């Protein structure tokens, strides 16, 4: 089995980005600047944002972190978004999700200037992606597409099953994989919690993208020999043998699948690092467009 090592690939791409930034610096050009807005104390969100800030430092980007307590009002957060929209030095920014329940995520997303939407979540960028026009692609799906390309995973004419229909991963993955492009040109089936006879779908798949949020749900009996598994899930599973009392598991049963599939992403160290790299790639693009 080929391990689709996102951590190693992300390191390679970061080195390429750093070379680009060094060239910009030598030419006295504008250094890309990524800002992140973090609301509250969600542990996972803090880890994600910390990784993004560290990655910016590694490639030579400027980074800014705006933190507010989870008691922040909708009006206060919208004011921060508008300030970042208007700041000419900020090339792109993200509002880390999820937000506290009292905040309207859709309203916040709609307020972000599409030209600075390096997460690729605004309706303008989603619409342009759907039409095959130049846009900022959603970070995780774009990271997966880059991984498929760099590892030489053929998608043209393949049967792909995407598990999960979120706007962040599942739905945009179906669009990108079915587009007339490379990677792309796949026949894509989108499955979700209401899909009947799920196993019948997955057994036909040459490639499975698992983004449904159920630990180790994809098991060996659901997958045909030689399939490729892209595991987007990252779940905490209780494990008293571990110092922290839990372990991280994907949506696929890695141990049970590794002798059956031809290639698979590990968890952690697979899709996650590629999401961060994709965000950096979008930020560089935003800076260059200016």
Q: Is 236 among the annotated ligand-binding positions? A: no
Specify the length of the chain in residues.
290
DSSP 8-state secondary structure symbol assigned to residue 221: G
Q: How many Cβ atoms are within 10 Å of 75's Cβ, its own excluded?
A: 7
Active-site hit among 14, 52, 116, 158: 52
Active-site hit among 96, 206, 231, 253: 96
52 is catalytic: yes
Q: Is 132 among the annotated ligand-binding positions? A: no
Q: Is 234 among the annotated ligand-binding positions? A: yes
Q: How many Cβ atoms are within 10 Å of 47's Cβ, its own excluded?
A: 11
Active-site hit among 91, 119, 231, 251: 119
Q: Is 208 among the annotated ligand-binding positions? A: no
What is the C-alpha separation between 112 and 133, in angstroms, rounded? 19
Q: Is 95 helix (H, G, I), strand (E, B) or coil?
A: strand
What is the C-alpha separation between 131 and 110, in angstroms, rounded? 19
Q: How many Cβ atoms are within 10 Å of 243's Cβ, its own excluded?
A: 6
Beta bridge partners of 249: 235
Known binding residues for NADP(+):
164-166, 234
Known binding residues:
164-166, 234
Tell me which residues are annotated as active site. 52, 96, 119
């Amino acid at each position: 089995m080929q391990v689709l090592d996102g951590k190693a690939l992300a390191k390679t791409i970061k080195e390429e980005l750093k070379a680009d930034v060094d060239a910009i610096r030598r030419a006295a050009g504008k250094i890309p600047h990524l800002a992140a807005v973090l609301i509250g104390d969600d542990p996972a969100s803090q880890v994600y944002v910390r990784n993004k800030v560290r990655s910016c430092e590694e490639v030579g980007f400027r980074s800014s972190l705006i933190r507010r307590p989870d008691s922040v009002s909708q009006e206060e957060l919208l004011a921060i978004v508008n300030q970042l929209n208007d700041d000419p030095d900020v090339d792109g920014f993200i509002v880390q999700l999820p937000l506290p329940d009292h905040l309207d995520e859709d309203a916040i997303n709609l307020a972000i200037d599409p030209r600075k939407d390096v997460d690729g979540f605004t309706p303008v960028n989603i619409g342009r992606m759907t039409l095959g026009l130049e846009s900022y692609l959603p970070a995780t799906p774009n990271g997966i597409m880059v991984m498929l390309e760099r590892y030489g995973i053929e998608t043209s004419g393949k049967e792909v099953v995407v598990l999960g229909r979120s706007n962040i991963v599942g739905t945009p993955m179906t669009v990108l994989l079915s587009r007339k492009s490379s990677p792309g040109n796949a026949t894509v089936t989108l499955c979700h919690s209401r899909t009947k006879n799920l196993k019948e779908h997955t057994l036909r798949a040459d490639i499975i993208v698992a983004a449904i949020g159920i630990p180790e749900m994809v098991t060996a009996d659901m997958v045909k020999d030689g399939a490729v598994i892209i595991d987007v899930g990252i779940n905490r599973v209780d494990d008293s043998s571990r110092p922290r009392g839990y372990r991280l598991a994907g949506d696929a049963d890695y141990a049970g699948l590794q002798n059956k599939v031809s290639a698979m992403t590990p968890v952690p160290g697979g899709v996650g690092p590629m999401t961060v790299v994709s965000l950096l790639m979008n930020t560089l693009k935003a800076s260059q467009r200016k």
